[in-house]
Amino acid sequence: MQTDISKKHTDINKIHMDIAHIKFLFKQMLRIRRFEEKCAELYTQEKIRGFLHLYIGEEAVAVGIMQALKPEDAVFGTYREHGHALARGLSMDKVMSEMFGKVTGSSRGRGGSMHIFDVEKQFYGGNAIVAGALPLAVGLALANKMQNKKNVVVCFFGEGAVAEGEFHESLNLAKLWHLPILFVCENNGYAMGTALAISESEQHIFRKAQSYGLAAHAVDGMNVVEVESAASQYCNSIRNGDGPCLLECKTYRFRGHSMFDTQLYRKADEVDEWKSKGPIKKLKRWLEANDKLSADELIEIEDEVAAEINQAIVFAEGSPLEEISDLYLGVYAEEES
């Protein structure tokens, strides 16, 4: 099932990926990785509280998918959505500030790690009810279709979500109404601590989608090029009016489900094995093997990423908390629209 990125060279050519773009993908993944490593640190310093679900190991999925989108396309994320948000182009300052619960955060600090929203970027959360965003994404795609907009709606969810009724209801509605929507299943093998094998009778998620008539297949979610290539093809087909698709991305989270997870449900060997084929490691190896990434260049990229993160922390630290007097702002709309 795992594909060596070097063997996908033909695919790279097929979608006209140049080295500059591949380096861009590398940097995007690294931004997310380093951002989250810093978040984990800030969590232990109690700067970030609540739940913190790290995306570490899964970066290729968000980064690959987002390349296929236009600014007017919409994205629905999960509660593990820092990667989705950063890859979608939300400012790291606003995302970090949201983690700190500051008013300059993307959701005024009210949502925290699990509820990052940015309507300007067509980024609709940040939903912490597993499968809860699927019907919303279907509805937005319905609205787009009714208004003759050619936009694509992308909805991310984990493989745990496919056990929820809302997954099945949403796929059925999407196909029934022939909606312009791409479902992206981030199959990291565990619904919190429950392995796929002990929760699903059919463990190929894409087959469930095929049973509803959606075009669907699985890709190596650790291979950003493969993810981008598949997402681009699906988005083209959706824009052509061919209806909904589902992409199953086989991936793995290197950290626990959240910061409270003692990981009793999996063996260290298994984690190590996946880490060895991590998305960043894999792409770095390929770039280096092809002499496309010098040591100096790598240092430069790392430095740029570190600077961006440091700036985001300075921004978040220096930002005010929301006034308690604004507590009721946005419970209801203030005036008729």
Fill in the per-residue mask, 125 to 164: x = in contact with another protein (CB under 8 A), - = not in contact: xxx-x--x-xxxxxxxxxxx-xx-----------------
Task: Examine residue 97 and tell whether it contacts another protein (CB under 8 A).
Answer: no
CA–CA separation, 100 and 321 (whole Å): 9
Nearer to another protein, 291 or 336 (CB): 336
Taking CB under 8 A as the criterion, the residue among 3, 91, 172, 233 binding another protein is 172
CA–CA separation, 59 and 35 (whole Å): 11
Identify the sign of the CA torsion 123, 125, 126, 127.
negative
DSSP label at 3? -
Q: How far is the CB of 114 from another protein (least distance, A)?
A: 9
53-72 residues in contact with another protein (CB under 8 A) are none
Q: How far is the CB of 150 from another protein (least distance, A)?
A: 13
Whole-number Cα distances in Å, 225 to 122, 167, 258: 24, 27, 28
Nearer to another protein, 132 or 199 (CB): 132
CA–CA separation, 305 and 291 (whole Å): 22
Residue type, 337: S
Whole-number Cα distances in Å, 253 to 126, 259, 280: 18, 13, 13
Taking CB under 8 A as the criterion, the residue among 84, 102, 108, 282 binding another protein is 108
Task: Examine residue 238 and tell whether it contacts another protein (CB under 8 A).
Answer: no
Residues in the chain: 337
Task: Examine residue 166 and tell whether it contacts another protein (CB under 8 A).
Answer: yes
Residues of the shown chain interacting with another protein in the complex, contacts defined by CB under 8 A: 74, 105-111, 115, 117-119, 124-127, 129, 132, 134-144, 146-147, 165-166, 169-170, 172-173, 176, 329-333, 335-337
